Amino acid sequence: MTNTQNDAEPFILFELAGTTYGVRSRFVQQVEMIEHVTSVPNAPAAVEGVVLARGQVIPALNLRARFGFERTPFDLRSRLVVVSTGGRTLGLIVDSAREFLRIPEAAVEPPPEAITGLSGKYLEGVATVGGRIILVLDLGEVIDLGEQRPAAGAPPAAA
């Protein structure tokens, strides 16, 4: 079954509110501890602020807030998962991130119909690996803040 291993893609796994999520590692630049987040006026509710990551100032998106979970204080396990997709780079604030796993493409199924509404719009699929359920993120949806996007310091567009 070497074919299954060849068809497996590496994922970075992280925990959020007791659930395991995965993001394709090709989108992940680094995972680091959260040292300091600088608040930004008028930012969308899920944007915690900006952080300095390897010399680059990037927005920090609190996934707890983005997914509608209660915010919790950062601790030693909290991590910033720096992702880059669609020409945008930002940090995802998660409860913990310590695992790297190859997931066979056949193990990733579309999200069940029961969660395809608002709660499932951030999911690319659901993977079952070794008895574990891993929710695979659709990064494009997660980082799309819609019309709120310019609020982080950009002037309003001229009409």
Residue 49 has a pLDDT of: 96
pTM: 0.83
Side chain identity at residue 91, one-letter code: G
pLDDT at 118: 54
Segment 47-58, tens digit of pLDDT: 999 999 988 999
CA 26, CA 10: separation in Å to the nearest integer?
Answer: 8
Q: What is the DSSP string of 35-87?
A: ---B--TT--TTEEEEEEETTEEEEEEEHHHHTTPPP----TT-EEEEEEETT
Tokens (6 digits) for 22 = 């995965």
Which residues in the chain come in under a pLDDT of 50?
1-4, 147-159
CA gap 101, 128 in Å, rounded? 12
Residue 95 has what pLDDT?
A: 97
All domains of the chain in start order, with CATH: 2-142 (2.40.50.180)
Question: What's residue 2's pLDDT?
Answer: 45
The pLDDT value given to residue 155: 40
pLDDT of residue 5: 57
* Per-residue pLDDT at 94: 97
